[in-house]
Amino acid sequence: MAAERGTAAEALVGQVVLPGDLLLLPAHYDEDAEGERLRLSGGTAPQGRLLCGPGLRRSGAGLLVTKCGLLRHRPGGGGAYWVDSQQKRYVPVKGDHVIGIVTAKAGDVFRLDVGGSEPASLSYLAFEGATKRNRPNVQVGDLIYGQFVVANKDMEPEMVCIDSSGKSSGMGIIGQDGFLFKVSLGLIRKLLAPKCEIIQELSQLYPFELVLGMNGRIWVKAKTVQQTLIIVNILEACEYMTAEQRKQALAKLSGN
């Protein structure tokens, strides 16, 4: 089998890979000065170091696939490989911006459902301008857009709604009159890509507000309920439509 002897990673970029497949790396990714073949990291890679993203893990001969999906590659520096899968179960990652649902108040901490295996905690002081006397008006059932500052397998995930300078930067309580729905994590990554064609095309159809969470949740609000539902349906269908099919559907809605 090809998976047993391995296949060059470059040859499989854009193709479907399966768990157990072995991806061989070019010769220049071999042993470095520290004796490592690969550096696993979520940050910026030093020159010549390769990043191993979701769906892959280190193997003696290269990279071992752990999830089914499309193999992706980003050049530049040491480059990066990852598997673009249709996973729906979210695993919290430090730095991710997500949409959480407040499920309980526990003293000075709110508990939020973020779609992971356990709830995340959010302190009442983790809002812009919040103090012991000036507490944010957060109720059970509210939607919160925030960022993970703690996320690992040994600790409870912790969220904040402020950046490093204490500003909200768009984070906080989300309005109640919009529509919240869930999509796959692969579609979220596609929508969050710079200059996403889907978002640009939708913005020409109706004016709307949109919040995208890395945990697969999307909140959208347009001028009317009908327009909101149309945008929701298009975003859900985009995962299974080609660019041409999407443009034809938008053309019908716009009357062109």
Q: Where are the domains of the chain?
A: 1-26+49-85, 96-173, 179-254
User: What SS3 class is residue 216?
Assistant: coil
Q: Distance between terminal CA atoms of the chain?
A: 51
1-26+49-85 and 179-254 in the same fold? no
Q: Which range, 10-14, 88-92, 206-210, 250-254, is most confident?
A: 206-210
> Helix axis angle, 225-237 relative to 243-254, nearest 10°?
160
Pick the CATH number of 96-173 from 3.40.50.460, 3.30.420.40, 2.40.50.140, 2.30.40.10: 2.40.50.140
- Looking at domain 179-254, its CATH architecture is 2-Layer Sandwich (3.30)
Residue with tokens 């356990």: 118
> What pLDDT does residue 103 have?
94
The model's pLDDT over 84-126, given as tens digits with 9 standing for 90+, comes to 776 667 888 888 999 999 999 988 899 999 988 889 999 999 9
Mean pLDDT computed over 159-185: 89
Closest by alpha carbon to 18, among 74, 61, 58, 56? 56
The model's pLDDT over 55-91, given as tens digits with 9 standing for 90+, comes to 888 877 688 888 888 888 887 766 788 887 766 678 8
Residue with tokens 């550096």: 39
- Looking at domain 1-26+49-85, its CATH architecture is Beta Barrel (2.40)
